[in-house]
C-alpha cells in the first residue's frame, strides 16, 4: 500500500506550507489581507466573550492606596490638543467647557463643568494600563457616567456610547466608544481630577473617561460630547475608535 509515503509527503507539504505561512506572516501584504485579519481577529472576539462570561460582569478593577500612586502619571496619546479653541478654553481654566449628551437620549442636554462638579462624585485609585505595556497608578475623581446617562434618559435603542474628543491625531478627531455594560459599571466615571488636582492638560483636561477594565486608549481624553448610538458602523471609520480605525487595534481592549 502506498498510503504511508503519500501521507508522509502530505505531512511534509503541510509543514512546508506552515513554514511558508510563517515567512509570509512577516510580510505587510499578508498582514493586511482581510481574510488573515478576520481569522486572527476571531481571537479578540473570543477574549471579549470569555472576559464577559467570567465572574461578575460588574466586577471592580483593583483599587489601590495613596502609597501606591505613581510619582508621575505618564500621559498616553495626545499631550496637548493645542487647537485654537482648546487653547482658549485652557486660558480660561476650562470654565466654559461643556459636555454635550447627544443621540439616543430622551432629554439630550449639556452639562457645564460646574454642574458636573456639583453632582455626586466617585474617587478611585486605579491602575492605568497602556497597550504599549506600561502602567501608572492615579487617583481619579469624577461623576459616575451612569448619573449623566440617567439625567439625560438613555433610550432603550441605545447600544453604545461614543466619546467625541477635542484632540486630533494626524488631523483626525479622536474618539472612542464603549458598550452599555462598561457604561453602567460603577468605576466608569467622567474624571475631572487627578491626584486631588484638576486633570492636567497632558492627562486629558478638563474631562476624561475612566473605563478601568480596559487599556489606556479606551480612556478618551478632552471629552466634549457623548453620543448614544445603536450601531458603531456609521460613526467615523466605523470601527468604534480612532486607533481601531487607523491602527487596526481591537475595539475590545480588555487584554
Partner 1 sequence: MDGGLNKERRKAAPKHRLTTRLWHWVNAAAVIILFMSGLNIFNAHPRLYWGSYGSWGDPAWLQLERFSHWMTIPGYYSLADARMWHFFFAWVFAIGLLIFLFISLFNRHLQRDIHISRKEWRWSAIRGDITKHARLDFSHGDSKYNVLQKIAYASVLFLLIPLMIFTGLTMSPAMAANWPWLLDIFGGRQSARSIHFIVTWMLFAFFVGHILLVLLSGPARQLRDMITGGRKDAESS
Contacting residues toward partner 1, per CB under 8 A: 4, 7-8, 11-12, 15, 18, 22, 25-28, 30-31, 37, 39-44, 46-47, 51, 54-56, 59-62, 64, 68, 70-72, 74, 127, 129-137, 212-215, 243, 247-250, 254-255
Q: Phi and psi for 183 in degrees, rounded to 5?
A: -65, -35
Nearer to partner 1, 40 or 82 (CB): 40
**Residue 236 Cβ vs partner 1, minimum distance, rounded to whole Å:** 17
Which of left, alpha, beta for 249 (phi over 0: left; psi -120 to 50: alpha)? beta
Distance (Å, whole) CA 170 – CA 245? 13
Nearer to partner 1, 13 or 123 (CB): 13
Nearer to partner 1, 70 or 225 (CB): 70
**Residue 91 Cβ vs partner 1, minimum distance, rounded to whole Å:** 28
**Residue 195 Cβ vs partner 1, minimum distance, rounded to whole Å:** 13
Nearer to partner 1, 67 or 114 (CB): 67
Bridge-based pairing state of the strands 122-129 and 197-198: unpaired
CA 91, distance to chain mean position in Å, is: 28
Q: Phi and psi for 236 in degrees, rounded to 5?
A: 45, -125
Nearer to partner 1, 164 or 213 (CB): 213
| Cis previous bond, 128, omega within 30 | no
Terminal CA-to-CA distance of the chain, rounded, Å?
A: 51
Distance (Å, whole) CA 175 – CA 222? 10
**Residue 69 Cβ vs partner 1, minimum distance, rounded to whole Å:** 8
**Residue 109 Cβ vs partner 1, minimum distance, rounded to whole Å:** 31
Amino acid at each position: 500500500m502506498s498510503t504511508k509515503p503519500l501521507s508522509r509527503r502530505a505531512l511534509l507539504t503541510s509543514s512546508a506550507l506552515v513554514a511558508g505561512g510563517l515567512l509570509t506572516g512577516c510580510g505587510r501584504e499578508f498582514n493586511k489581507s482581510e481574510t488573515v485579519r478576520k481569522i486572527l481577529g476571531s481571537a479578540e472576539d473570543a477574549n471579549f466573550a470569555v472576559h464577559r462570561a467570567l465572574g461578575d460582569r460588574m466586577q471592580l478593577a483593583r483599587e489601590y492606596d495613596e502609597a501606591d500612586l505613581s510619582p508621575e502619571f505618564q500621559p498616553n496619546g495626545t499631550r496637548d490638543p493645542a487647537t485654537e479653541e482648546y487653547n482658549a478654553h485652557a486660558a480660561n481654566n476650562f470654565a466654559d467647557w461643556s459636555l454635550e449628551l447627544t443621540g439616543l437620549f430622551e432629554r439630550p442636554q449639556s452639562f457645564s463643568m460646574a454642574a458636573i462638579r456639583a453632582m455626586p462624585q466617585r474617587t478611585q485609585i486605579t491602575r492605568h494600563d497602556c497597550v504599549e505595556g506600561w502602567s501608572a497608578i492615579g487617583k481619579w475623581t469624577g461623576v459616575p457616567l451612569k448619573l449623566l446617562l440617567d439625567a439625560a434618559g438613555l433610550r432603550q435603542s441605545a447600544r453604545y456610547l461614543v466619546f467625541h474628543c477635542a484632540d486630533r491625531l494626524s488631523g483626525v478627531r479622536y474618539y472612542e466608544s464603549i458598550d452599555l455594560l462598561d457604561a453602567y459599571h460603577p468605576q466608569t466615571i467622567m474624571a475631572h481630577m487627578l491626584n486631588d488636582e484638576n486633570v492636567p492638560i497632558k492627562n486629558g483636561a478638563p474631562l476624561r473617561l475612566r473605563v478601568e477594565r480596559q487599556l489606556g486608549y479606551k480612556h478618551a481624553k478632552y471629552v466634549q460630547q457623548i453620543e448614544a448610538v445603536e450601531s458603531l458602523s456609521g460613526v467615523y471609520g466605523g470601527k468604534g475608535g480612532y486607533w481601531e480605525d487607523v491602527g487596526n487595534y481591537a475595539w475590545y481592549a480588555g487584554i
